[in-house]
Chains A and B, each alone.
Chain A
Amino acid sequence: MKFDNHIRRSGPAMLGAAMLAFSVNPVSAEDITVTSFGGIWETAIKDCFASEFEKRTGSKANVLIGSPAQWMSQIEANPDNPPIDVIVTTQSQTMAAGEGGLISRATAKEVPNLADVDPIFIKAVDGWGACFDFGAFILAYNKDTIKNPPKSIKEFVDRTIKGDWMATMPSVSYAIAPDIIWSFADLYGGSADNVDPAFAVFKQLKDSGNMISWSSVTDFLNQMSTGDADIGMYWDGRAYAFIDKGNDWMGVIKPTDKAFMSCVAMNKAKGAPDAAWDYLNIVFEPGPQACFSDHLKYGVTNQKVQYSEEMKNRVTWPKDLRAPNVSTSRKIAQNAADWIERWNKEIGF
């Protein structure tokens, strides 16, 4: 071996400065970055909102996949030049983002279509824009193993404790756990100030050994598919979408004692350009909303939306939903940490 060869061979290991070659592609001023959850959510946002925005304005709407906690932190870290222009958030996150100064308050002036949105979906986020879609917690069950499904949440609870089936419910690690805790409290006679009734129920469910939990929407489908659970509380849109994919064995029951409701809001980040308003107006427009509903099988919030025949039967109408009012929502957000701590201590899954 020549000495020089040896020198050459040891060379490349040290050169590490190539890193600066990679950098962010600059986005033109007109383009905006909007957000979405992954999978079919992303498809729906792209097909119904982003492409419509691009068609009308000629600018691009980049769709970013991720989660609200991540986006809020990103906006908060870069208040003057947020990497995100339109953020998707849950109810309590929307209020936190609004009061924390991360988002601009949208009214019918900036987003004309907000005028047609059912007011309960504006109140649900204390007027920080509005929810654009909503989900109801129905009971999804395995038709093969459960011939006589429960009619209501209370019946579901009782028969789970009795041991009629293996049941599953959202875990404390799921983003809207605090809302679910309040809903149970409300159902069993408590309130945002008194969640003891809810915890009494959770305790019984836990002790029965017949209840497990799911921590993501697909987690639930796995549990149902693998047989870990026979029945569970689940999002209506998700259940319908799953059934439509050929899973006839899954059945859905709208509980008679009001399904728990949760909705998703969309807002403009404070430092974002005005093009974001145009995008939001599309999001709240009847046509794109119907498109979204078709994709995700969820209810949407513009009252002028023409649902497909199928969706008309499926959507749980606002009057059948158990939803917190504004002051309750705030209390939920404030008490979330304490409730979760209590859940950790007393229930544990």
Chain B
Amino acid sequence: MTDQVRRGTSRGFSGVVSPWWIAVTALFLVVFFVIPIINNLLNTDQLVTLAKQRPASFYYEKLFTDPYYLGIVADTVTLSVGVTVICIIIGYPVALFLVRHAGRWSGLVIFLLIAPLLTSIIMRTFGWRVLFARRGLLNDFLLWIDAIEKPILFLNGPTSAVIGLVHVLVPFMVLSIASVLRSIDLQLEESARILGASRFKTFLKVTFPLSLDGIGTGFIIVFLLANGSFVTLLLLGGGELKTLPLLIYQQFTISRDFQFAAAMSNVLLAIAVGCLYLQLRLIKRKGVKG
């Protein structure tokens, strides 16, 4: 048996986990996620509606040839990417603070980060409405300091929708970046400083590249959440800003055109899964360390 080739029959020690551990979870998702979704997409033409019945190709053709819908698709992606990028920019310093400077207060900082997520989305959005109203706090303040002459309409536009989304999603970004920053060896930064790099250069050349992994994870989460959200857009965007999820919501609640909703869901899903896969590959390549 000494020279017998054993490859493939015995795999050595594979840690505590067996690949089979995925089976139950995967089965759960297949049974309660994949099949229902597919089932739903196949049977949409049988649902109760008075809407005109058209072949599915009609909707896909519309989505991919009508400049308006191409614009919607582009807006959906732009909004998600935009919100994600803003979250990275404003969230990164906070993550840095949390990991490097908060010290024993880090628990409190994390608590404050999560606190907004504990209130209902409806009320969070309402808080913004009060602030942004034509005679709301923000306008009152701007009028008071003579920055503006007449109230600005913040609400019902892209601005308030983006602010609302960033507000809801930025904690996810901060937490994702912080968890990676935490694992960066401080010695790396110190040695860069000793080698004569300025604080800023150290950040740019050492800290930032090492934290890309966390930005990647944060990007996935925030992008996907933004990509699928409509409640904030509905309540703060005033319908001014149209994205696929919002149109899907319209189809469900008002025009009951389920086939169109199904077609749009598929496009949205394709965007999301494509992005997700891309990001995971990127992370895999950047983060294979130990």
The CB with the most chain B CB atoms within 10 A, among A171, A172, A226, is that of A226
Interface size class of B (residues with CB under 8 A): 20 to 34
Question: Is A337 part of the binding interface, using a Cβ–Cβ cutoff of 8 Å?
Answer: yes
Question: Is A102 part of the binding interface, using a Cβ–Cβ cutoff of 8 Å?
Answer: yes
Chain A residues lying within 8 Å of B52, measured Cβ to Cβ, are 334-335, 337-338
Q: When the two chains form their complex, are residues B247 and A344 in contact, meaning their CB atoms are under 8 A apart?
A: yes
How many of chain A's residues have a CB under 8 angstroms from any CB in B?
41
Question: Is B240 part of the binding interface, using a Cβ–Cβ cutoff of 8 Å?
Answer: yes
Given contacts A178-B255, A215-B239, A226-B130, whether A95 and B50 have CB atoms under 8 Å apart is yes
Question: Could you say which of A67, A102, A212 contacts B156, with CB atoms under 8 Å apart?
Answer: A212
Given contacts A92-B50, A337-B52, whether A349 and B239 have CB atoms under 8 Å apart is yes
Chain B residues lying within 8 Å of A97, measured Cβ to Cβ, are 48
The CB with the most chain A CB atoms within 10 A, among B50, B153, B238, B246, is that of B50
Chain A residues lying within 8 Å of B129, measured Cβ to Cβ, are 222, 226
Question: Is B203 part of the binding interface, using a Cβ–Cβ cutoff of 8 Å?
Answer: no
Please report the C-alpha to C-alpha distance between residue A228 and residue B131 in the assembled complex, in whole angstroms: 12
Interface of A is mostly: helix
Chain A residues lying within 8 Å of B250, measured Cβ to Cβ, are 172-173, 340, 344
Question: Is A40 part of the binding interface, using a Cβ–Cβ cutoff of 8 Å?
Answer: no
Question: Could you say which of B47, B153, B235 contacts A212, with CB atoms under 8 Å apart?
Answer: B153
B13-21, B105-113, B133-141, B277-285 - interface stretch? B133-141
Given contacts A96-B48, A173-B234, A228-B134, whether A336 and B239 have CB atoms under 8 Å apart is no
Chain A residues lying within 8 Å of B48, measured Cβ to Cβ, are 72, 76, 96-97, 99-102
Question: Is B256 part of the binding interface, using a Cβ–Cβ cutoff of 8 Å?
Answer: yes
Q: When the two chains form their complex, are residues B135 and A226 in contact, meaning their CB atoms are under 8 A apart?
A: yes
Which single residue of chain B is at the shortest CB-CB distance from A173? B239
Chain A residues lying within 8 Å of B226, measured Cβ to Cβ, are none
Instruction: Give residues of chain B (224-271) contacting chain A, Cβ–Cβ below 8 Å.
Output: 234-235, 238-240, 242, 246-247, 249-257, 260
Please report the C-alpha to C-alpha distance between residue A177 and residue B255 in the assembled complex, in whole angstroms: 9
Q: When the two chains form their complex, are residues B50 and A330 in contact, meaning their CB atoms are under 8 A apart?
A: yes
When each residue 113-142 of chain B gets 1 if its CB lies under 8 Å from chain A and 0 otherwise, what string results? Answer: 000000000000000011001111000000
Residues of chain B whose beta carbon lies under 8 Å from any beta carbon of chain A:
47-52, 68, 129-130, 133-136, 153, 155-156, 234-235, 238-240, 242, 246-247, 249-257, 260
Could you pull out 25 A-B pairs where Cβ atoms are within 8 angstroms?
A67-B253, A69-B252, A72-B48, A76-B48, A92-B50, A173-B234, A173-B239, A173-B249, A174-B254, A175-B253, A215-B238, A222-B129, A226-B135, A226-B136, A227-B133, A228-B135, A330-B50, A334-B50, A334-B52, A336-B257, A340-B250, A340-B255, A344-B242, A349-B239, A349-B240
Residues of chain A whose beta carbon lies under 8 Å from any beta carbon of chain B:
67, 69, 72, 76, 92-93, 95-97, 99-102, 166, 171-175, 177-178, 212-213, 215, 222, 226-228, 330, 333-340, 344-345, 348-349
